[in-house]
């Protein structure tokens, strides 16, 4: 008996050791042999850029500021000379690039909105001197309301490099380790295809050979994508929750849990709602936490209370980065988790109210200037998020600005008394209640709300909720409470728990 | 045909101070003021149920409802009792599938809209006729499938995805010679050209009001009297019965036998107004106008690099729409760009005809479709925007 236990323990130890060794060796080989080889074969700067970026992380703030200004100055000139939309915008504001004498002057440029981009896409918002043969159309998730953008080869390299940078800095992921994603939908490349190619690399390469497609750019691009997903990131994509909404059946949640237990990825990225529901499923059943070292959200961040539940359901830690399809990753947290360190060598991020920067730490709209997209420049683009910018050095020692994103602008309630409630604040409020399992606030007009609630125990404390919400908002809000069985996702697959009609009051 | 744009109030809508270019009429058509007035009048002055009450308003509603049936029957050269109101084309086709007795072997085609494909193609007795590379129906294949034995042929008059006109007279003749009845999906033809059910000899014909300038939620099934008489009811409930007893019921004769429950009264009345409107325009002129627009769209779009027309490029073989693809650009992306840039509304995707796309190995397509209110300058706007988009490819 004792011998069996010892043998069993030894065998478990062997398996774990072998798995660790395999992951380590594989990752080491990918980093030291495969990545340089792929970069050479594809003429890609992804890997060298990634390594340069990691070195820059340790650079002094003054050096980064100088670099940021050099890149901004060049981008402004380029946009003025080659992008009709920005030339018009600057001329209407009575500006030329020379009038912007430093990063602090950038606020003088008009804000670019999604509507501006859509109205001028693609011909008036792209650079007339850009090589169009290597453009790729990318889009944010969702069909109807998505924003499309164009990346050239250089920008695509940057997007890949920043993705690797965010994964490494925030969660110690290195290429070659296993990763799982659970996105709200599948494809965000406007490529004419209907979704990601999920077949194997070797099989695809064999088909290319049979069809004599080794000179076909599209096939080469697809193969590169497959290698990137399958071999470099070892990425698996699990299907989204779908239209069932937040309250997925226990069977399906158990299936996700089982797949993760079997696959044991280093990093898991998913919608915060997915992570929260999977973690809650595990915790409610008092099962062992799922063996995932780093859990990250995509689409939006998780509120503080959601993070706690997620960390209980997984063995690893919850980490965050900030990015979008049109920009790639723009910031990521460190192990102190006190805001997201902005990649200021590549992005200039502002937080504004009434288009003017707010003091450090104050809430406002997030604007992004992308310093590395020359095919389709984004200057002071209102990305649709609200957050705060912290300028004090981080306890981790880095001195770059840190961003705290608190949700989408359209999910931010502003009372007529001027009190602001971000998505994260309201999520924490409701997830802190024991009588509410899930919720959705639909503000039909400022001060008039429908509150959909999935009650914890089947009993809906409607009057209690109404009274509590009036106290919370400190305002004469009119609330109607409705019990529901689940909160359905939007058409994009993402969830919106707060739909505000008062966000324009934010300024 | 006279310029009718002023009859359509929605065309005065400005989005960001720019006019609307509506090129999605194959999905649903815009509504003229006369239709809006007819529906509004029902709500404002005579809301009441039909075929039931004895009061004045009910009498008015019943009169207008049945007058609409008469108008629609005249429009298709059918008899009044051969016109069954349904929720639309889909329900009309499914009504035949459910209620027509002794139908086991059905031939349909790969070019059908899903609503005329799914009811038949996947059944044990279903056979699907293929198409040539340009989307033309393969008549040899049709002949083979009919010769194998068929009780019913379910076929579209005009393909919703390609806008291609089938040689419907010849096809009906082939089916009848093979001893099969014919159900014609006229959803995309009836809005644009005269459709005479007697001249066609169709056994059944289905179409929808909302594509014919009428309201949503109503369509018709035309069926030859002898066929409708042979069909039992589908839905049981009010108005479809003569008498109900503890131990049984007696059904009404067609068409009321198939109209259980309170119908979409205001939609039927609105459709009656739309039919009168189209009749006053003269359907021959409507067809001419459509042909001119299709020809012009083909002429403009074929001149643009990277734009590939899907389906035949001969305008005489098309009706109501032109489908196309742009090299290396996804259809939904193109549609959204047109909408964002210049308020041009087109349809994109598989167009509810995925089997056809698979048969032709096509990625999703973009479709520009037209109606009486469209003008050539709107096609110019479409072409100019596409030129700007493809210039960057």
Give the minimum alpha-carbon distance from B349 to chain A in angstroms, rounded to a whole number: 10
Query: Taking a C-beta distance cutoff of 8 angstroms, is the pair A120, A85 a contact?
Result: yes
Is domain A157-321 classified as CATH 3.40.50.980? yes
- The predicted structure's pLDDT at residue A412: 96
Report the chain B residue with the minimal C-alpha distance to residue A146: B336
CA angle A130, A133, A136 (to 5 degrees): 85
- The predicted structure's pLDDT at residue A20: 61
Report CB contact under 8 Å: B333, A148: yes
Query: Which H or E run includes A472?
Result: helix A462-473
CATH code of the domain covering residue B166: 3.40.640.10
Domain count, chain B: 2
**Nearest-by-Cβ selection for A119 from B329, B341, B389:** B341
Interface probe, candidates B16, B329, B330, B335, chain A, greatest A C-beta count within 10 A: B330
Structural domain span for residue B288: 5-29+282-390
Q: Are residues B119 and B161 in the same domain?
A: yes
Interface probe, candidates A127, A137, A187, chain B, greatest B C-beta count within 10 A: A137
CA angle A16, A21, A26 (to 5 degrees): 130
CA distance A261 to A125: 46
- CATH topology of A62-151+344-406 equal to that of A157-321? yes
Q: Which chain A residues touch B337 with a CB distance below 8 Å?
A: 121-122, 148
Q: Are residues B243 and B341 in the same domain?
A: no
User: What is the DSSP secondary structure assignment for residue B164, as one 8-state letter?
Assistant: B
CA angle A436, A442, A447 (to 5 degrees): 105
Q: Are residues B367 and B257 in the same domain?
A: no
Structure tokens at A261: 């237990």
End of a domain among B281, B300, B331? B281
Q: Are residues B111 and B203 in the same domain?
A: yes
Interface probe, candidates A121, A134, A135, A148, chain B, greatest B C-beta count within 10 A: A121
In this prediction, residue A16 has a pLDDT band, given cuts at 50, 70 and 90, of low
CA distance A389 to A505: 20
| Widest distance between CA atoms in chain B | 73
Report CB contact under 8 Å: B363, A194: yes
Report the chain B residue with the minimal C-alpha distance to residue A124: B388
**Nearest-by-Cβ selection for B337 from A121, A126, A194:** A121
Give the minimum alpha-carbon distance from B358 to chain A in angstroms, rounded to a whole number: 13
Please indicate whether residue A44 or residue B179 has the higher confidence score (pLDDT).
B179
CA-based nearest residue to B180, from B95, B258, B120: B120
Options 3.40.50.12780, 3.40.50.300, 3.20.20.60, 3.30.450.20; CATH of A62-151+344-406: 3.40.50.12780
Q: Are residues B267 and B355 in the same domain?
A: no
CATH code of the domain covering residue B377: 3.90.1150.10
Residue ranges of chain A whose CB lies within 8 Å of a chain B CB: 115, 118-123, 126, 132, 135, 137, 139, 143-144, 146, 148, 190-194, 218
Structure tokens at A210: 């049979």
**Nearest-by-Cβ selection for A190 from B330, B341, B388:** B330
Structure tokens at B34: 């006369």
CA-based nearest residue to B211, from B9, B393, B30, B11: B30
Q: Are residues B271 and B286 in the same domain?
A: no
Contacts A–B by Cβ distance under 8 A? 48
Q: Which residues contact A67 (CB under 8 A, 6 or more apart)?
A: A56, A59, A345
Q: Which chain B residues touch A134 with a CB distance below 8 Å?
A: none
Structure tokens at B145: 């499938």
Asked whether the whole model's pTM tops 0.90, one would answer: no
End of a domain among B263, B281, B299? B281
Q: Are residues B261 and B294 in the same domain?
A: no
Task: Give all strands of the β-sheet with A328-332 in edge-to-edge order.
Answer: A321-324, A328-332, A340-342, A402-408, A381-390, A364-370, A347-353, A356-357
Percent of chain B exceeding pLDDT 90 equals: 89
Residue ranges of chain B whose CB lies within 8 Å of a chain A CB: 16, 328-330, 332-333, 336-337, 340-341, 363-364, 388-389, 391-393
Burial A135-158 (b: 16+ CB within 10 A, else e): bbbbbbbbeeebbbbbbbbbbbbb
- The predicted structure's pLDDT at residue A494: 83
Query: Taking a C-beta distance cutoff of 8 angstroms, is the pair B393, A192 a contact?
Result: no
Question: What is the ipTM score, two decimals?
Answer: 0.73
Per the annotation, the verdict on B99 as an active-site residue is no
Burial class (CB in 10 A: 0-12, 13-18, 19+), B372: buried
Specify whether the backbone of B29 is left (phi greater than 0), alpha (psi in -120 to 50) or beta: beta
End of a domain among B281, B306, B331? B281
What is the tens place of the pLDDT at every residue in A107-166? 999 999 999 998 999 889 999 999 888 888 887 655 445 668 999 999 999 999 999 999
Tell me which of A262-266, A302-306, B107-111, B210-214 is least confident.
A302-306
Q: Are residues B259 and B304 in the same domain?
A: no
Q: Which chain A residues touch B18 with a CB distance below 8 Å?
A: none
The residue extents of the domains of chain A are 2-42, 62-151+344-406, 157-321, 412-505
Report CB contact under 8 Å: B341, A118: yes
- The predicted structure's pLDDT at residue B291: 97
**Does residue A181 sit in helix, strand or coil?**
strand
- The predicted structure's pLDDT at residue A192: 34
What is the tens place of the pLDDT at every residue in A334-347? 999 999 999 999 99
Q: Which chain B residues touch A135 with a CB distance below 8 Å?
A: 392-393
State the residue for tokens 């011909």. A123
Does the pLDDT at position B111 exceed 80? yes
Report the chain B residue with the minimal C-alpha distance to residue A217: B328
Report the chain B residue with the minimal C-alpha distance to residue A131: B392
In this prediction, residue A229 has a pLDDT band, given cuts at 50, 70 and 90, of confident
Query: Taking a C-beta distance cutoff of 8 angstroms, is the pair A161, A54 a contact?
Result: no
Section A312-330 average pLDDT:
94
Q: Are residues B335 and B273 in the same domain?
A: no
Q: Are residues B235 and B251 in the same domain?
A: yes
CA distance A379 to B46: 58
Query: Taking a C-beta distance cutoff of 8 angstroms, is the pair A195, A189 a contact?
Result: no
CA distance A302 to A278: 14
Query: Taking a C-beta distance cutoff of 8 angstroms, is the pair B338, B382 a contact?
Result: yes
Is domain A412-505 classified as CATH 3.20.20.70? no
Q: Are residues B235 and B333 in the same domain?
A: no
CA-based nearest residue to B268, from B101, B26, B9, B42: B42
Tell me which of A444-453, A456-465, B292-301 is least confident.
A456-465
Section A292-314 average pLDDT:
92
What is the tens place of the pLDDT at every residue in B144-177? 999 999 999 999 999 999 999 999 999 999 999 9
Percent of chain A exceeding pLDDT 70 equals: 91
In this prediction, residue A24 has a pLDDT band, given cuts at 50, 70 and 90, of confident
- The predicted structure's pLDDT at residue A205: 86
Report the chain A residue with the minimal C-alpha distance to residue B332: A143
Does the pLDDT at position A446 exceed 50? yes
State the residue for tokens 């520009």. B368
In this prediction, residue A101 has a pLDDT band, given cuts at 50, 70 and 90, of very high
What is the tens place of the pLDDT at every residue in A457-488? 878 889 999 999 988 987 778 999 999 988 98
Q: Are residues B255 and B273 in the same domain?
A: yes
Section A91-119 average pLDDT:
95
What is the tens place of the pLDDT at every residue in A49-85? 999 999 998 899 999 999 999 999 999 999 999 999 9
């Amino acid at each position: 008996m004792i011998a069996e236990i010892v043998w069993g323990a030894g065998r478990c130890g062997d398996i774990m050791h072998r798995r660790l060794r395999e992951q380590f060796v594989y990752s080491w080989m990918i980093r030291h042999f495969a990545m340089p080889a792929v970069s050479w074969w594809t003429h890609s700067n992804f890997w060298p850029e990634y390594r340069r970026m990691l070195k820059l992380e340790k650079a002094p703030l003054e050096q980064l500021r100088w670099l940021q200004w050099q890149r901004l100055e060049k981008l402004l000139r380029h946009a003025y000379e080659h992008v009709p939309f920005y030339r018009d915008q600057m001329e209407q504001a009575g500006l030329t690039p020379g009038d912007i004498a430093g990063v602090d002057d950038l606020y003088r440029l008009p804000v670019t909105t999604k509507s501006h981009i859509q109205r001028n896409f693609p011909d008036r918002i792209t650079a007339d001197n850009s090589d169009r043969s290597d453009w790729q159309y990318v889009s944010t998730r969702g069909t109807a309301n998505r924003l499309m953008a164009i990346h050239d080869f250089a920008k695509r390299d940057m997007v890949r490099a920043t993705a690797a940078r965010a994964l490494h800095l925030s969660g110690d992921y290195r290429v070659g380790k296993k990763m799982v994603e659970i996105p709200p939908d599948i494809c965000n490349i406007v490529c004419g295809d209907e979704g990601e190619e999920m077949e194997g690399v070797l099989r695809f390469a064999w088909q290319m050979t049979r069809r004599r497609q080794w000179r076909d750019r599209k096939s080469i691009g697809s193969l590169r994508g497959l290698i990137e997903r399958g071999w470099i990131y070892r990425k698996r994509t699990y299907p989204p929750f779908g239209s069932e909404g937040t309250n997925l059946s226990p069977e399906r949640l158990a299936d996700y849990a089982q797949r993760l237990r079997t696959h044991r990825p280093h990093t898991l990225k998913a919608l915060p709602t997915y992570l929260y529901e999977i973690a809650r499923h595990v915790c409610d059943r008092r099962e062992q936490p799922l063996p995932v070292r780093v859990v990250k959200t995509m689409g939006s961040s998780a509120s503080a209370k959601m993070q706690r539940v997620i960390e209980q359901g997984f063995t690893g830690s919850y980490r965050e980065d900030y990015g979008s399809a049109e920009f790639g990753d723009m910031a990521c947290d460190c192990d102190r988790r006190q805001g997201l360190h902005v990649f200021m060598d590549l992005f200039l991020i502002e937080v504004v109210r009434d288009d003017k920067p707010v003091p450090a730490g104050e809430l406002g709209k997030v604007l992004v200037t992308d310093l590395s997209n020359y095919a389709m420049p984004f200057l002071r683009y209102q990305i649709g998020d609200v957050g705060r910018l912290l300028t004090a050095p981080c306890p981790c020692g880095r001195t770059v600005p840190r961003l705290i994103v608190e949700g989408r602008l359209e999910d931010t309630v502003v009372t007529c008394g001027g009190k602001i409630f971000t998505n994260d604040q309201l999520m924490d409020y409701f997830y802190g209640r024991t009588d509410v399992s899930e919720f959705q606030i639909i503000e039909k007009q400022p001060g008039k709300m429908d509150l959909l609630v999935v009650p914890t125990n089947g009993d809906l404390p409607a009057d209690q909720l109404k009274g509590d919400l009036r106290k919370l908002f400190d305002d004469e809000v009119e609330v109607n409470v409705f019990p529901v069985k689940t909160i359905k996702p939007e058409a994009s697959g993402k969830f919106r728990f707060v739909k505000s009609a008062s966000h324009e009051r934010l300024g | 045909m006279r310029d009718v744009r002023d009859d359509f109030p929605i065309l005065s809508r400005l989005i960001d101070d720019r006019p609307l270019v509506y090129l999605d009429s194959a999905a649903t058509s815009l509504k003229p003021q006369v239709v809006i007035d007819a529906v509004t009048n029902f709500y404002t002055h005579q809301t009441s149920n039909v075929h039931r009450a004895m009061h004045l308003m009910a009498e008015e509603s019943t009169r207008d409802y049945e007058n609409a049936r008469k108008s629609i029957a005249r429009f298709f050269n059918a008899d009044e009792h051969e016109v069954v109101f349904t929720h639309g084309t889909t329900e009309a086709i499914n009504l035949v599938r459910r209620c027509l007795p002794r139908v086991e072997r059905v031939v349909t085609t790969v070019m059908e809209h899903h609503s005329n494909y799914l009811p038949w193609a996947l059944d044990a007795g279903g056979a699907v006729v293929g198409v040539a590379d340009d989307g033309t129906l393969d008549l040899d294949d049709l002949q083979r499938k009919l010769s194998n034995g068929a009780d019913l042929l379910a076929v579209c008059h005009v393909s919703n995805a390609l806008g291609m006109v089938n040689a419907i007279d010849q096809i009906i003749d082939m089916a009848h010679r093979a001893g099969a009845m014919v159900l014609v999906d006229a959803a995309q033809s009836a809005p644009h050209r005269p459709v005479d059910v007697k001249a066609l000899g169709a056994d059944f014909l289905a179409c929808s009001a909302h594509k014919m300038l009428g309201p949503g939620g109503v369509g018709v099934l035309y069926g030859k009297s002898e066929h409708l008489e042979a069909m039992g009811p589908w839905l049981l409930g009010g108005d479809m019965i003569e008498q109900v007893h503890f131990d049984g019921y007696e059904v009404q004769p067609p068409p009321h036998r198939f109209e259980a429950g309170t119908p979409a009264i205001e939609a039927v009345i609105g459709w009656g107004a739309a039919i009168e409107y189209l009749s006053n325009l003269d359907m021959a002129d409507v067809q001419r106008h459509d042909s001119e627009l299709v020809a012009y769209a083909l002429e403009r779009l074929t001149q643009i690099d990277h734009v590939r027309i899907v389906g035949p490029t001969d305008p005489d073989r098309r009706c109501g729409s032109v489908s196309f693809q742009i090299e290396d650009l996804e259809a939904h992306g193109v549609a959204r760009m047109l909408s964002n840039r210049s308020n041009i509304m087109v349809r994109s995707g598989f167009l509810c005809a995925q089997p056809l796309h698979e048969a032709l190995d096509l990625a999703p397509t973009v479709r520009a479709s037209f109606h009486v209110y469209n003008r050539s300058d709107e096609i110019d706007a479409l072409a100019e925007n596409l030129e700007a988009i493809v210039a960057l490819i």
